[in-house]
Amino acid sequence: MISVSNVSMRFGGKILFEDVTTTFLAGRRYGLTGPNGAGKSTFMKLLSGETDPQKGTVVRPKKVGILRQDQFAFDQFRVIDTVIMGNQPLWKALEERETLYSKEDLTDEDGMRLGELEGIVAEEDGYTAESDAAVLLDGLDIPEPLHNRQMNELQGGQKVRVLLAQALFGKPQALLLDEPTNYLDLESIHWLQNFLVHYDGALIVISHDRHFLNSVSTHTADIDYQAIITYPGGYDDMVLQKTQIRSRIEAENAQREKKIAQLNEFIARFSAGTRASQVTSRKKEVERLQTTELARSNIQRPFIRFEMKRPSGRHALEFKGVTKGYGDLEVIKDFSATVQRGEKVALMGRNGAGKTTLLKALLANGPGVDDPDVGIDSGTVTWGHEVQIGYFAQDHRSGIRNGTTVAEWLHDWDPQASKEEIRGLLGQMLFSGEEGMKPTDALSGGEAARLIFCKLMLQKPNVLVFDEPTNHLDLESINALNIALQKFDGTVLLVTHDEDLVSEVATRIWHFENGRIEDFLGAFEEYNAAAVK
């Protein structure tokens, strides 16, 4: 159990939360939600002890598993050892035991201490530590040959998965996970969901993956209105309850205001007359009926709408025998397909299976694509008549020129656009007022993603190619993107590990597995049903 009592945090004049008192119970799994900047990560640091509250107290259990965000902190350690470090009492005992055994001559005191250490190792399941750590790593797609490698030999996404295994190791009494699904493919996410559903401690998780939150959470702790309110159920349940509560208060306020207006009219008419006692009772009734003040929500919802200047031809894309590799490694081999206008294709599979490689191969001669990191080894790619491509690269931040402002950069893509049109698009994507003058150098990952969406809405292409567009978005932005892609009349090629996005947008699946690509003509639900048969 983790207990929070009268905790307050503010930065300058901005209040994140005020006098928060709440309890996170063992056996419950809490999704911690709220818009970017609401204070989710700050609250996590309070729970973990990394940061002290400006006011109030936090009581936590002895053993807490924490997903570390610093990918480079363990570079000098083996992968398997990094995982075992998730149980600090065990790791310290193992290190001290190793030091004592390395001594040439052991004293009686050393022998007694070794006995104590062996007791700690046994109590903490140290004799099966490496095999237990290996099970976690395998589940998170870190294969056995990497277990004894140094952390600095791993790629960024692999390091994140090792740090996730570290947080899960050692049967912690509480788990604090900040964006655990980042850099995970769908299979790894499903493995993690299953692990967490069977976890019996107190789980608190921040995630921008709606499907993950709905699958894992028994409760949702929502940061808004400078408070933290806990609702039963997952993210969708919370949104429904929160909307219903606010709607009820607004309706009650409207009724009260109508009654107050009637009472005030009576008071104004008869205050100077013979009905003084009735006027006094009406004044008391007005005081009693004062409406409940509704705090302003921190949530901001962008509005995304992708339109086309004109549709493409009936065949948006046709390619034959496409092959692409890197050196001796052949990633895509002899893949052929035709994509019709209006199809929405989701590219799915484990990390490193070739999804981004295929996108870049298809974009090699794409009209309007100026990404230098695209190409094809063999085969033919033919884009259809009147095709115009809008591309959201995985490394989308590098496509935004530094040394200018948000508004100027956007205007460069259509010099004919008026200032009002530019300002309107930026406003839709939450760059309001002076934020249009923000330097592009200072953009966060989420802001850079929203600016790319502005560019695509300005250009109005008829083919959208998205490579991991949700990585830096909050839930509100992801939901807005989901709706926009569903309503888009053009063609979509989409790489994402967001299951809701695949389920609700895709009409066709390209599934990458074991060096081959399965082309399934149908929605994700149909694909899963066919896979079970």
Q: Dihedral through CA 451, CA 479, CA 156, CA 345, nearest 10?
A: -90
Q: Are 511 and 521 in contact (CB under 8 A)?
A: no
Neighbours of 524 (CB within 10 A): 21
Same structural domain, 393 and 244: no
**Structure confidence at residue 521 (pLDDT):** 93
Do 490 and 461 contact (CB within 8 A), yes or no?
yes
Rounded Cα–Cα distance for residues 198 and 182 (Å): 21
> 414-445: per-residue pLDDT in tens?
999 998 999 999 999 988 888 888 888 888 88
Whether 454 and 443 have beta carbons less than 8 Å apart is answered as: no
Residue range of the domain that includes 160: 74-169
Which residue do the tokens 């990585």 mark?
471
67 belongs to a structural domain: no
Domain final position from 152, 169, 186:
169
Indicate the DSSP class of residue 21: E
User: Other CB atoms closer than 10 Å to residue 209's CB: what's the count?
Assistant: 27
For residues 388 and 504, membership in a common domain is answered with: yes
Q: Which of 21, 11, 23 is nearest to 54 (CA)?
A: 11
Q: Answer yes or no: do 407 and 493 share one domain.
A: yes
Rounded Cα distance, 80 and 449, in Å: 35
User: DSSP string of 165-201?
Assistant: HHHHTT--SEEEEESTTTT--HHHHHHHHHHHHT--S
- Annotate 150-166 with b (16+ C-beta within 10 A) or e (fewer): ebeebeebbbbbbbbbb
Helix (H, G, I), strand (E, B) or coil at 41: helix
- pTM of the complete model beyond 0.85: no
Q: Which residues contact 85 (CB under 8 A, 6 or more apart)?
A: 74, 77, 91, 166
Are the C-beta atoms of residues 301 and 476 closer than 8 Å to each other?
A: yes
pLDDT at 433: 81
Domains of the chain: total: 3
Residue 263 lies in a domain: no
The answer as to whether 235 is a domain residue is yes
pLDDT tens track for 17-51: 888 899 999 999 999 998 766 788 889 989 988 88
In a domain, 269, yes or no: no
Residue 291's pLDDT is what?
A: 56
Percentage with pLDDT > 90 across the chain = 44
* Predicted pLDDT at 179: 85
Same domain for 330 and 466, yes or no, is yes
Residues in the chain: 533
317 contacts 382 by C-beta, under 8 angstroms: yes
Q: Does one domain contain both 413 and 344?
A: yes
The values of phi and psi at residue 8, to 5°, are -130, 145
If asked whether residues 380 and 462 sit together in one domain, one would say yes
- Co-location of 249 and 152 in the same domain: no
| pLDDT digit string, tens, across residues 449-499 | 999 999 999 999 999 999 999 888 888 889 999 999 999 999 999 999 899
Residue of 316, 360, 322 whose CA lies nearest to 338? 316
Q: Are 380 and 391 in contact (CB under 8 A)?
A: no
Task: Determine the pLDDT at residue 444.
Answer: 81
Report whether 452 contacts 401 (CB < 8 A). no
**Domain finish residue from 154, 169, 184:** 169
Q: Is the residue at 282 inside a domain?
A: no
CB 485, CB 195: distance < 8 Å: no
Does 497 lie in the same domain as 387? yes
Are residues 198 and 130 both part of a single domain?
Answer: no
> Which pLDDT score, from 0 to 100, does residue 531 have?
75
Measured CA to CA in angstroms, residue 285 lies from 188, 208, 263, 293 at distances of 60, 46, 8, 18
Tokens coding 438: 């923000």
Within a domain: residue 266?
A: no
Q: Quick check: is 286 in a domain?
A: no
Does a structural domain hold residue 276?
no
What angle separates helix 475-487 from helix 445-459, to the nearest 10 degrees? 20
- Which portions of the chain are predicted below pLDDT 50? none
Of 134, 150, 169, which residue is a domain's last?
169
Q: What is the pLDDT of residue 299?
A: 65
Show the tokens assigned to 29.
């799994």
Domain identity same for 31 and 154? no
139 in the same domain as 82? yes
Burial class (CB in 10 A: 0-12, 13-18, 19+), 287: exposed
The pLDDT value given to residue 341: 95
Half-sphere exposure of 204 (CA within 13 A, CB side): 27
Which phi-psi region, left, alpha or beta, contains residue 518 (left: φ > 0; alpha: ψ -120 to 50)?
beta
Q: Are residues 517 and 376 in the same domain?
A: yes
**Average pLDDT value for the chain:** 87
Closest CA to 158 of 143, 168, 148: 143
Chain Cα centroid distance, residue 401: 25
Check residue 135 and give its pLDDT. 93
* Three-state DSSP state, 162: helix
Give CB contacts under 8 A, 24+ apart, made by 450-453: 450/302, 450/477, 451/400, 451/406, 451/409, 451/410, 452/392, 452/396, 452/399, 452/400, 453/302, 453/304, 453/392, 453/429, 453/481
pLDDT of residue 274: 63
Maximum CA extent, the chain: 106
Query: According to the model, what pLDDT value does residue 491 have?
Result: 96
pLDDT of the residue at 293: 58
Whole-number Å distance between alpha carbons of 377 and 317: 18
Cα gap 331→353, rounded to integer Å: 7
Query: Where residue 200 sits, what CATH number does that domain have?
Result: 3.40.50.300
